[in-house]
Structure 1
Amino acid sequence: MSDTPKSHGRKSIRATLQPRELITPTPELARAWKAQVITLLPQAFPGVLGESLTGRALKDGLWSLAPVDLRPFGEGKHRNVDDTPAGGGAGMVLRADVMGRAIDRAQDSAPRGAPLIYLSPRGRRFDQAMAQRLAQGPGVTLICGRFEGLDERVIEHYGIEEISLGDFVMTGGEIAAQAVIDACVRLLPGVLGNAESAVEESHSSGLLEHPHYTRPAEWQGRPIPEVLTSGDHAKVAEWRREMSERLTATRRPDLWDRHLKSQRDKA
């Protein structure tokens, strides 16, 4: 039997030695957004990504996930992946040769043009604009750090982009990788039930999102703002915009300053 995928419209059929579940098959759509994750904890995936909207989209083949276990690329009998820091110091560093082999293997099956990204506390801050950029591409290959980090030569050799969730340090990049993937996948066509949801939410317009309300009409003595039940769509839109601006100016002055500058540049 040939291992060459056969095209059938948007779906592709690939021969595999691993049996698929007959009741809930997972189609692999041609050109679907693909996430690869190089990690020492492949069992951590899909994790929460396998639930709710992202999980349903994964089962429907709107995107695919391929964890790459770093351990088999390790050195020696015990498949060592790290060593002591050159120059001394605490902790261990992921070896360049080990990670290089894992990256080469991952790149063999990565979509053409998919960026190589290392989750690192020293990287550029991940934001909605970056999620949109990545979601518009063919996919991404993420490297999850462990211990004291990754040998710098690997980052330089492959021209790896470094991104961070924020100014804090975690024990590894797996949680960060899931956050990045989730932020991207929900932007893919067909994942969200209402496409407008991704347009109106926080950060999409450079502002924080306005407050939301639903039934009951009054709770603990707090009624829904009258404008939201008025039926006047223009007034509702104006109120939501005003609330977004007020929240952004109060809670995120950095975003508010950026928004004001953007408005001045457009004028």
Structure 2
Amino acid sequence: MRIDILTCVPNLLDSFFAHSILKRAQQGGFVEVKIHDIRDYSTNKHRTIDDYAFGGGAGMVLQIEPIAKCIRTLQSERNYDEVIYLTPDGELMQQRMVNQLSLKGNLIMLCGHYKGVDQRVRDLFITKEISIGDYVLSGGELAAAVLSDAIIRLLPGVLNDETSALTDSFQDNLLAPPVYTRPADYEGSKVPEILMSGHEAKIEEWRYEQSLKRTRERRPDLLQS
């Protein structure tokens, strides 16, 4: 997979992709992540990429020309399955969506900033709009990082144990069950005996029951979807 992220503050993303699972995924050749500075595609020597909104109002708007130039340059080099815009008014990100995106080959992610992008960018280039929650951030960089992380960890070979991702919360619309590690007894608080029984079928049954119980208590809406 290749992910191209378009942003006007590329340094915000450098550290995120330089550590842990995301770093190993790139080093192992499972994914290629490229971060593009929209200012490199500015149409003037001052590297300007924003302007006042027609009709007035507070805040600046990202212009169409630099973004269009960047997207078209990338699209001339390879085919992209989706051109994604990270925006608070997009479709709410859910595990089902992430699973589908993890099957794609090439993705472009556009990070909004200021008051957003010229609507014509969305009309002409964007194929999918995604929100990571009902709140507003200073820019789409954190949202792009969250979406990328969720996708990349699902790619075959990225996790040491490929079954790990399949037992995460929200897979099968259930929250993950409680997990325990050593010591088995911490100041009188003990690990459930079933988990130390070695009986795999009964352990899986217990975990499913705990997932169901936790989901009913914390996210009953998941059981209705």
Normalised to the residue count of structure 1, the TM-score between the two structures is 0.81
Which of 73, 92, 108 pairs up with 2:41? 73
How far did residue 81 of structure 1 move?
0.6
Amino acid at match of 1:235: K
1:154 alignment partner, SS class: helix
1:131 aligns with 2:98: yes
How far did residue 104 of structure 1 move?
1.0
Q: Is the 8 A contact 2:84 2:126 kept in 1?
A: no
- The match for 1:146 is 113
CA deviations on 1:174-197 (whole Å, 9 max, x unpaired) are 111111111111111110001110
1:61 aligns with 2:25: no
Q: Is the 8 A contact 1:68 1:106 kept in 2?
A: no
Amino acid at match of 2:66: V
Q: Measure, in 2, the Cα distance between the counterparts of 1:154 and 1:197.
A: 38
Could you tell me the percent identity over the aligned residues?
39
1:227 aligns with 2:194: yes
Which of 206, 220, 224 pairs up with 1:253? 220
1:244 alignment partner, SS class: helix
- The match for 2:20 is 52
1:204 aligns with 2:174: no
Q: Measure, in 2, the Cα distance between the counterparts of 1:172 and 1:129.
A: 24
1:92 aligns with 2:60: yes
Normalised to the residue count of structure 2, the TM-score between the two structures is 0.95
Larger radius of gyration: 1
* Unaligned stretches of 5+ residues in structure 1: 1-32, 259-267
CA deviations on 1:166-222 (whole Å, 9 max, x unpaired) are 001100111111111111111111100011101111111110000100100011321
Moved more, 39-48 or 91-100: 39-48
CA deviations on 1:65-93 (whole Å, 9 max, x unpaired) are 11111002223231211111111110001
